[in-house]
């Protein structure tokens, strides 16, 4: 296995001025806490007025973003509903709320290994910061051996290299630290013993980092972190809080660089391109403002753009430049995926810009598409396939060539259904193409057969949804645009296998959900499958009727598996999801007949029924029709001398 080299050598992390010996770690922590207590006592009221620059500082989103990790497999965001590793009775801690981040060591070999959870925040030279966090090491997974963890604050230049003298540390959490107790950890300035952390010249970023060092013996243990704070206690004058950022712009479009700066007196701005001052005129504007705009960009505009900000106190060059990359050619609008019924027409289009004359070459997967038969436009911006068939299913993209190179669009999917399946929204409903078109989370897999040896409901593959841990939510779904009032029906064939029966309080079900801008506003569920359900028998779960509520813009059909205190799995096959168009009969006269017209869906059968009197016990079948691509049915029947009542029943 390839070993990972820590970004910072061990000698760097163990700088004598910060941590002279292992014996003084607890003393260092104690001194830090005393310094913080004194600081808080003096300025408890004013400290609350400062802004915490860290995002998701208390992990209450239940996810780690925007925290980053130098090794993503050695941390997790856990809730107090979970248990400390190695225990079935001790719940995981949180300093506040219900979530915290747990960090542990890397196990790659018999040598010191380190990784850091961190956030990188723009910062300016001469600004001053403070940093603190709460830490907890819990039995039986408390930190062990020579392992140690620490808060580290690094000031970095525009290329994220640590600036000399710009590194600050807290005391360490190790085997001498109290267990099962929340400890307030603070980064300190070793030069004056305070919590003021000044940013040196050349600073572009400050990194708030939580490091865990794993000893060569791989001793194990973990640390929980919660309620982090990164506070800017003073600013430089002038100060650049956000330097120009890199931009990628397509040929002929507009590029705008912006700097965020502040000062105690009015600011002036002077922009540079590769270090040479730029002036307003032609395609350039804003050269003396906070935003520089270059319109109708060409390849000649590719460069590094920086700015100098000046006020009465002095001038400050931006600590980083924004580099302009010009795509020539570039894709302005990619082709979009299509779902069609056999016999319809599919058209993919791309919008591109670039120098010279643009040419186009369409592909289905890696195979070039050529004009002929049902295909036209293979060398233009729009590819058309008429009278589509299931065999046309594929992934279509286009390569655009201009005077300075090529650009390839993202791929768009063509999914063609047969007439018989046209009203079925779910694609790849039998999982014969794996999880293509599906969204899946936590415990899921596509398998050839159930673990208990039962036969599949249909085809060669089925989907297994299983527990990924106590309290987890697991499942699969597909989502579709909707409008209020749409009516849906869903069903899925499901199996509890004798080889992995659902146990304990675990449950699974089929559901239809409705959303408004990502927020759920409606839910319809099938009966629940549990440990009491039949084993070894395929069962059809059905949600017979679901109406999109007011405000709905998306609907999802999904299988949910909520893992309780038991394991097991649910096997799923032939999942279907239909939108049901309401049927309204429009009568008209075509003497001597009555013409009954109503909307239809492709592949759905409709019974046209009649009664001569409402008191009649049953409806009589006049005719059965099947919806086709026309989307409309017309049934003609002779007029009668007496009244007659008609209705249409969709046979789902």
CB atoms within 10 A of CB 459: 12
Quick: pLDDT tens for 389-432: 989 999 999 999 998 999 999 999 998 887 766 678 898 999 99
Beta-strand relationship, 113-122 and 68-69: antiparallel
DSSP class per residue in 622-647: EEEEE--TT-EEEEEEE--SS--EEE
Type and span of the H or E element at 248: strand 247-250
Which pLDDT score is estimated for 29?
A: 41
What is the torsional sign of CA 292, 296, 301, 304?
positive
**Given pLDDT bands bounded at 50, 70 and 90, which one contains residue 499?**
very high
Average pLDDT value for residue range 191-209: 92
Which residues make up the CATH 2.60.120.260 domain(s) of the chain? Answer: 10-234, 421-580
Q: pLDDT for 244-286, tens place per residue? A: 999 999 999 999 999 999 999 999 999 999 999 999 999 999 9
pLDDT band at 331 (very low <50, low <70, confident <90, very high): very high
333-417 carries CATH number 2.40.170.20: no
Q: Whole-number mean pLDDT of the chain?
A: 88
What pLDDT score was predicted for residue 358?
Answer: 97
The strand order across the sheet containing 284-285 reads: 255-258, 291-294, 284-285
341 membership: H or E segment, kind and range: strand 338-341
- The CATH topology of domain 242-327 is Immunoglobulin-like (2.60.40)
* d(C-alpha 439, C-alpha 420), whole Å: 25
CATH 2.60.40 fits 586-651, yes or no: yes
Q: Where do the CATH 2.60.40.10 domains begin and end in the chain?
A: 242-327, 333-417
pLDDT of residue 49: 52
Region 421-580: CATH code = 2.60.120.260
What is the Cα–Cα distance from 347 to 536, expressed in whole angstroms? 46
Q: Report residue 114 as tokens.
A: 């380190």
Q: Domain 10-234's class? A: mainly beta
In the 3-class helix/strand/coil scheme, how is 77-126 assigned residue by residue?
A: EEECCCECCCCCCCECCCCCCCEEEEEECCCCCCCCEEEEEEEEEECCCC
Token reading at 329: 């050619």
Which is more confidently placed, 29 or 320? 320
Task: Give the per-residue pLDDT at 361.
Answer: 98
Q: Return the pLDDT at 122.
A: 85
Confidence of residue 23 (pLDDT cuts 50, 70, 90): very low
Residue 531 has pLDDT above 70, yes or no: yes
CA-CA-CA-CA dihedral for 62, 66, 69, 73, to nearest 10: 30
Cα(466)–Cα(503) distance, integer angstroms: 11
Residue of 171, 191, 205, 165 whose CA lies nearest to 26: 171
**Count of other CB atoms within 10 angstroms of residue 60:** 17
Count of CB atoms situated within 10 Å of the CB of 638: 7
Six-digit token pair at 108? 């790659």
Q: How far is CA 18 from the centre of its chain?
A: 39
The predicted model gives 607-616 an average pLDDT of 92
Res. 110 pLDDT band, cuts 50 70 90? confident
The string of pLDDT tens digits covering residues 210-256 is 999 999 988 889 999 999 999 999 988 898 888 899 999 999 999 99
CB burial readout 81-97, b (16+ within 10 A) else e: eebbbeeeeeebbbbee
Q: How far is residue 26's CA from residue 420's CA, in Å, rounded to a whole number? A: 73
Listed in sequence order, the residues at least 6 apart from 496 whose beta carbon sits closer than 8 Å to its beta carbon are 502, 529, 533, 534, 535, 536, 537, 568, 570, 571
Q: Does the pLDDT value for residue 14 go beyond 70? A: no
Please, which pLDDT band fits residue 599 given cuts at 50, 70 and 90? confident
Average pLDDT estimate for 173-197: 95
pTM for the full predicted model? 0.60
- pLDDT bucket at 72, cuts 50 / 70 / 90: low
Confidence label for 100 from pLDDT (cuts 50, 70 and 90) = very high
pLDDT of residue 278: 97
Q: What is the pLDDT of residue 91?
A: 94
Mean pLDDT for 125-146 is 95
> Is the pLDDT assigned to residue 33 strictly greater than 70?
no
User: In this structure, how many other beta carbons lie within 10 angstroms of the beta carbon of residue 620?
Assistant: 11
pLDDT of the residue at 382:
98
Least confident of 11-15, 48-52, 120-124: 11-15
Query: Which is nearest to 392 in space by CA: 419, 432, 365?
Result: 365
The residues, any chain, with a CB within 8 Å of residue 533's CB and separated by 6 or more, are 496, 502, 539
Structure tokens that stand for 651 in this block: 């046979």
Sorting pLDDT into bands at 50, 70 and 90, what band is 372?
Answer: very high
pLDDT number for residue 13: 29
Which residue in 601, 596, 651 sits closest to 622, CA to CA? 596
φ/ψ of 294, rounded to 5, equals -120, 115
């Amino acid at each position: 296995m390839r070993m990972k080299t820590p970004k910072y050598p061990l000698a760097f992390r163990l700088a004598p001025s910060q941590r002279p010996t292992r014996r003084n770690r607890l003393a260092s922590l104690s001194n830090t806490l005393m310094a913080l207590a004194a600081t808080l006592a003096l300025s408890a009221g004013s400290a609350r007025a400062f802004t915490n620059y860290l995002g998701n500082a208390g992990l209450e989103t239940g996810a780690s973003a925007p925290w980053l990790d130098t090794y993503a497999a050695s941390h997790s965001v856990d809730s107090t509903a979970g248990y400390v590793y190695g225990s079935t009775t001790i719940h995981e801690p949180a300093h506040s709320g219900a979530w915290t981040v747990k960090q542990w060591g890397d196990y790659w070999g018999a040598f010191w290994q380190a990784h850091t959870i961190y956030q990188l925040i723009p910062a300016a030279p001469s600004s001053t910061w403070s940093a603190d966090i709460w830490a907890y090491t819990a039995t039986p997974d408390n930190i062990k051996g020579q392992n140690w963890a620490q808060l580290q604050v690094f000031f970095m230049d525009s290329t994220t290299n640590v600036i000399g003298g710009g590194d600050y540390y807290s005391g360490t959490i190790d085997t001498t630290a109290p267990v099962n107790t929340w400890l307030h950890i603070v980064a300190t300035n070793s030069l004056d013993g305070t919590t003021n952390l000044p940013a040196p010249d050349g600073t572009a970023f400050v990194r708030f980092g939580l490091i865990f060092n794993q000893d060569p013996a791989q001793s194990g243990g973990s640390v929980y972190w919660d309620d982090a704070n990164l506070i800017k206690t003073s600013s430089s004058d002038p100060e650049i809080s956000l330097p120009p950022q890199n931009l990628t712009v397509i040929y002929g479009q507009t590029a705008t660089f912006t700097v965020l700066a502040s000062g105690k007196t009015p600011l002036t701005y002077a922009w540079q391109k590769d270090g040479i001052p730029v002036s307003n005129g032609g395609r350039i504007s804003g050269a003396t403002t906070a935003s520089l705009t270059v319109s109708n960009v060409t390849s000649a505009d590719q460069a590094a753009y920086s700015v100098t900000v000046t006020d009465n106190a002095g001038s400050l060059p931006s600590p980083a430049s924004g580099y302009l990359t010009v795509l020539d050619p570039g894709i302005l609008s990619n082709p979009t995926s299509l779902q069609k019924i056999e016999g319809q027409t599919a058209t993919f289009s791309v919008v591109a810009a670039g120098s010279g004359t643009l040419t186009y070459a369409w592909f289905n997967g890696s195979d070039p598409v050529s004009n002929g038969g049902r295909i036209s436009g293979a060398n233009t911006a729009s590819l058309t396939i008429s009278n589509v068939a299931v065999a046309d299913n594929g992934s279509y993209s286009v390569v655009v060539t201009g005077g300075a190179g090529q650009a390839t669009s993202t791929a768009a999917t063509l999914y063609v259904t047969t007439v018989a399946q046209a009203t079925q929204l779910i694609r790849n409903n039998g999982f014969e193409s794996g999880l293509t078109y599906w969204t899946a989370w936590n415990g899921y897999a596509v398998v050839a057969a159930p673990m208990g040896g039962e036969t599949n409901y249909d085809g060669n593959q089925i989907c297994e949804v299983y527990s990924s841990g106590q309290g987890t939510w697991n499942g699969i779904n597909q989502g579709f645009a909707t409008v209020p009032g749409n009516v849906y029906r869903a069903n899925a064939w499901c199996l509890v296998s004798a080889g992995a029966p659902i146990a304990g309080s675990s449950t699974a079900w089929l559901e239809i959900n409705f959303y408004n801008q990502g927020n759920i506003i409606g839910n319809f569920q099938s009966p629940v499958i549990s440990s009491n359900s039949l084993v070894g028998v395929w069962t059809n779960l059905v949600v017979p009727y679901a109406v999109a509520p007011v405000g709905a813009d998306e609907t999802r059909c999904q299988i949910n598996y909520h893992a309780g205190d038991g394991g097991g799995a649910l096997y799923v096959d032939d999942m279907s999801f239909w939108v049901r168009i309401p049927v309204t009969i429009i009568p008209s006269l075509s003497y001597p007949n009555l013409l009954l017209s109503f909307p239809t869906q492709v592949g759905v059968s409709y019974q046209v029924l009649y009664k001569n009197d409402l008191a009649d016990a049953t409806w009589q079948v006049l005719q059965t029709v099947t919806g086709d691509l026309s989307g409309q049915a017309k049934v003609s029947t002779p007029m009668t001398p007496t009244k007659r009542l008609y209705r249409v029943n969709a046979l789902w």
